[in-house]
Structure 1
Amino acid sequence: MRITWVSGNDKPQEVQYGDGQSQTSQVTTFTQHDMCSSILKSPASDFGWHDPGYIHSAVMTGLNPSSNFTYRYGSDSAGWSGRITFRTPPAGGSDELMFIAFGDMGKAPRDPSLEHFIQPGSISVIEATANEVSSGYVDSIFHIGDISYATGFLVEWDFFLHLIYPVASATSYMTAIGNHERDYVSSGSVYITPDSGGECGVPYETYFPMPTAEKDKPWYSIEQGSVHFTVISTEHDWTEKSEQYNWMNNDMAAVDRSRTPWLISIG
């Protein structure tokens, strides 16, 4: 299980969890030069830029499925988070899975004057999801495309991460890329639109390191309970004989339906 957090400190930190276990974080970031632009500067590369700090990520191993454990992250020099309780999803091939799936959520602060583009419904979505998570009836969350709607105004990723913290810190939070994370002119996206504001998937893939093969190939599959999830990118070529199409074909063909009888393709 991977945990990701943001810090102002570039030195590796730790996640401490379970009964005395710990893992050291890998640290990364991105710069203004990583953003896309064109003849006219994009928001992400110019007036919308905001330094993201340092993104820490660590994989917690040795966890039992369908189990609660506590963890904290940080360091003595940078400070520690509080103790957080997390529940792992069921193992692939087990009988039952209860999950929530949604897309196009975005974010909205309590004071909407702070942002250029808000999605007021996001607050009620997170509040309802948090109630389900706290009740113990949710094993996993899938947020499929159009994640934060920062669209090149990078500080809004901070607002979004703060919004989802109550649920993303307590249960599995899986994502898929959307046009408002990836698309930009001359960037390799299928759709030639400025929808990402010049982000071109860089902040998304840094904040949400999914189990993909490599950067800018944001398709992957996982198994939880009785479900095999094939997660695709609608913003990359998925036509017949494309790299993503071949991957989808091979992934779905390899599913053991006696183990995971449900196959859900999302993107």
Structure 2
Amino acid sequence: MGKAPLDPSVEHYIQPGSLSVIKAVTDEVKSGNVDSIFHIGDISYATGFLVEWDFFLHLISPMASQVSYMTAIGINHCINLFRDYIGSGSVYITPDSGGECGVPYETYFPMPTPAKDKPWYSIEQGSIHFTVISTENDWTENSEQYEWMTKDMGSVDRSKTPWLIFTGHRPMYSSSTNRLFDLDDRFSKAVEPLLLQHKVDLALFGHVHNYERTCSVYQSNCLAMPTKDRNGVDTYDHSNYSAPVQAVIGMAGFSLTKFSKPGSWSLTRISDFGYLRGHATKEDINLEFVNANTRQVQDSFRITKRQNR
């Protein structure tokens, strides 16, 4: 029997917003203004069913066939250290796929990682150095990944590549904490000091299915607040660096998550389907949350830095 054709007009049963996001981002790619796409975890929600990979790959092909489609390993539903069963070595145990899903992930998305089962890497594009980690592998102090993070971020020549963006799946900050999205204080305690030490400009995370942006935050304290520019856009001045800006951008398809009581570090919270669009020069990074259904910008922020001449 032949394989039934995939129908992208059918709303996905567990990712109700995925089609609107796919259509919006595909239009962005068609405009010719997109250099790359970053998808930081929760890649396909295949949960052990190969047909879900087929459906997902079919959906992203109009984008991934035109620009680089970079991924970060994420925990639940699709991948977990290439296996998700007890005793596998994963930091977190989620038996969603019975240990299967990492095999197609590694095959379909070969990232520039150090080796098999070491799904962390860095890449430079224009004026930005991206440090992409695995929140599912050991990130504790003195672990292999921890040492790699320290070396990678410490080796960036900020005179040539002024911006450092750190990405991983599980966030350090979220106002949507519940049993599914519980934050891991151990992760923040181990890794957040590295972000401050190496002057990370922006930390991007997924996992929680909404959008949230912080102040310049460290250990839950706002060390600096943005100011409004002439267009009313929140602007973080990193010429006098204080701490990273952090953002959760997990609003690309799965059922959206409500917010609970926000922390004092939380500046913007949006529970709509969409994506984060960014453009960088050596002097600034401009970022916008775009609503996938309306194509309207619902949040804008900017990070600036004066360059030494």
Report the TM-score range of the alignment, normalised by the length of the smaller protein.
Answer: 0.5 to 0.7
Aligned ranges 1:92-131 → 2 under 5 Å: 109-111=8-10, 118-131=14-27
Partner of residue 134, structure 2: 233
Q: Is the 8 A contact 1:108 1:119 kept in 2?
A: no
TM-score (norm 2): 0.49
Unmatched tracts of structure 1, length 5 or more: 1-49, 51-106
Alpha-carbon offset, residue 109 of structure 1: 4.2
Name the count of aligned residue pairs: 159
Change (3 A) 1:200 1:186: farther
Change (3 A) 1:108 1:201: farther
- Tell me, in whole angstroms, the C-alpha distance in 1 between the residues paired with 2:7 and 2:98: 18
Q: Does residue 214 of structure 1 match 2:115?
A: yes
Change (3 A) 1:177 1:108: farther
Q: Does residue 177 of structure 1 match 2:73?
A: yes
Alpha-carbon offset, residue 187 of structure 1: 1.6
Which runs of 4 or more aligned residues in structure 1 lie more than 4 Å from their structure 2 counterparts after TM superposition? Answer: none
Partner of residue 262, structure 1: 163
- Tell me, in whole angstroms, the C-alpha distance in 1 between the residues paired with 2:7 and 2:99: 21
Alpha-carbon offset, residue 108 of structure 1: 8.9
Aligned ranges 1:72-221 → 2 under 5 Å: 109-111=8-10, 118-179=14-75, 180=77, 181-182=79-80, 183-199=84-100, 201-221=102-122
Alpha-carbon offset, residue 200 of structure 1: 5.2
Q: Report the residue type matching 1:190 in the other structure.
A: V
Q: Report the residue type matching 1:185 in the other structure.
A: I
Q: Deviations over 1:216-257 (max 9, x none)?
A: 110000100000000000110101111100000000010000
Alpha-carbon offset, residue 188 of structure 1: 1.4
Partner of residue 245, structure 1: 146
* C-alpha RMSD of matched pairs (Å): 2.0
- Tell me, in whole angstroms, the C-alpha distance in 1 between the residues paired with 2:41 and 2:7: 17
Q: Is the 8 A contact 1:108 1:122 kept in 2?
A: no
- Tell me, in whole angstroms, the C-alpha distance in 2 between the residues paired with 1:108 and 1:194: 29
Identity over the aligned pairs, expressed in percent? 77
- Tell me, in whole angstroms, the C-alpha distance in 2 between the residues paired with 1:196 and 1:175: 19
- Tell me, in whole angstroms, the C-alpha distance in 1 between the residues paired with 2:48 and 2:31: 36
